[in-house]
Amino acid sequence: MDYRILVINPGSTSTKVAVYEDEKELFMENIVHSEDSLSQCSALLEQMPLRLAAVQESLSAHSLQAEDLSAVVGRGGMIPRLKTGAYRVDQALKAVIESGKLIPHASNMGALLVDAIAAPLGLPAIIYDAVSADDLPEMAKITGIPEIRRQSFCHVLNSRAMGRKFAEAQGRKYEDMNLLIAHLGGGISISAHRGGRIIDVITDDGGPFSPERAGSVPLLYIIDMCFSGEYNKAQVTKKQRGQGGLRAWLGTADCQEIEERIHNGDEKAALIYEAQAYQIAKGIGNLAPALNCSMDAILLTGGLAYSRMLMEKIRSYVGPLAPIHVLPGQCEMEALALGMLRVLRGEEEAKSYSAEAE
């Protein structure tokens, strides 16, 4: 039986839509929403009608209707008490999203969008590998401040998808491999994968700086900055996310531009780019003990992985640890579709959020 799967991935200013027939992509579209239309919505969930209409228009434009679908899958958001994998969109899941208590994140709408399309037709609807999915063992959550617990915030969807893709290329199962996966994008996260689970992470604010984020900075300096009277919370947050990293040092987050400057003899650009590679390598080494320093491979993925110069610099630092494989880019839409396909084929079971909430 062929399954036709609708994939919905809401972002801050756009909604990605795709339809797959089993593993084959029939179409993919990135619908960009105007600033004017989004600004008329005072709360995130008020964007639901315009995003739902955009998804339906996209289907119609490709001569498809909801009745032509077998199932619908969406990106999962900042939802508490989730593990990795698939979750059915049930009443408990919708209730926690609609409560208004979640950290605002566009992906929170994923479950509601798929439910709006699937529920009237009785179609299966799930979210998969949500942003907040957390498989960390208790030991990995402990910090030196008992009131603060570590959480598994990383690029869950793409990291696990690349792990599966790599394992299949090796003729092995992802669940049988030990992998360190560095997702290198506008933000950088590194994750340790064992037994099909992410057992520890270095978050985008806990490790290497990135094109636009500051990464880990000595905490006492941050405390001084926060209480100096010179900055408010929004300004300090912007230094950490959005105006940190390569952008703060070099005035740009464009690696092609930085590499061109290096080729033209810019010594500062060369130093900062070397520091970028060095910090990524340190993050990989820092996480190696989570896998008892026994890795089948180190995977480098995300947009930065297209930079051959940066990849070679990282390889020079961590090459002795394990075989290094570069898988540039990301495959989130495919990952969502294949997650639903495994559920439909009975290869993976979708969890119930109602059970998690009890």
Q: What is the CATH number of the domain that holds 128?
A: 3.30.420.40
Domain that holds residue 53: 4-136+333-357
| Whether 9 contacts 106, CB under 8 Å | no
Q: In angstroms, how far is the first alpha carbon of the chain from the final one?
A: 36
Domain count, the chain: 2
Q: What is the pLDDT of residue 356?
A: 57
Same domain, 263 and 278: yes
Same domain, 302 and 167: yes
Same domain, 26 and 83: yes
Least confident of 47-51, 100-104, 139-143, 302-306: 100-104
Q: How far is CA 288 from CA 151, 156, 189, 191, 277, in A?
A: 18, 18, 14, 10, 17
Q: Is the pLDDT of residue 122 over 70?
A: yes
In this predicted model, what pLDDT tens digit does every residue of 229-277 receive, in sequence order?
Answer: 999 999 999 999 889 999 999 999 999 999 999 999 999 999 999 999 9
- What's the CA gap between 58 and 18, in Å, rounded? 9
Task: Determine what percent of the chain is predicted with pLDDT higher than 70.
Answer: 99
| Whether 136 contacts 200, CB under 8 Å | yes
Residues 6+ apart with CB under 8 A from 264: none
Average pLDDT over residues 86-102: 92
305 within domain boundaries: yes
Check residues 343 and 12 and name the one with the higher pLDDT. 343
142 within domain boundaries: no
Average pLDDT over residues 178-187: 95
Q: What is the pLDDT of residue 151?
A: 86
150 within domain boundaries: no
> For residue 75, what pLDDT band results from cuts at 50, 70 and 90?
very high
- What's the CA gap between 256 and 304, in Å, rounded? 10
- Of 45, 123, 47, 48, the residue nearest 89 (C-alpha): 123
147 within domain boundaries: no
Q: E-assigned strands of 203-323?
A: 297-302
Could you tell me how far CA 201 lies from the centroid of its own chain? Answer: 12
pTM of the model as a whole:
0.90
286 within domain boundaries: yes
- Of 307, 238, 244, 298, the residue nearest 274 (C-alpha): 307
Same domain, 111 and 176: no
146 within domain boundaries: no
Same domain, 353 and 285: no
> Quick check: helix, strand or coil at residue 30?
strand
Same domain, 214 and 325: yes
Q: Is the pLDDT of residue 159 over 90?
A: yes
Same domain, 81 and 132: yes
Q: Taking all residues of the chain, what is their mean pLDDT, rounded to a whole number?
A: 94
Same domain, 129 and 28: yes
Same domain, 86 and 202: no
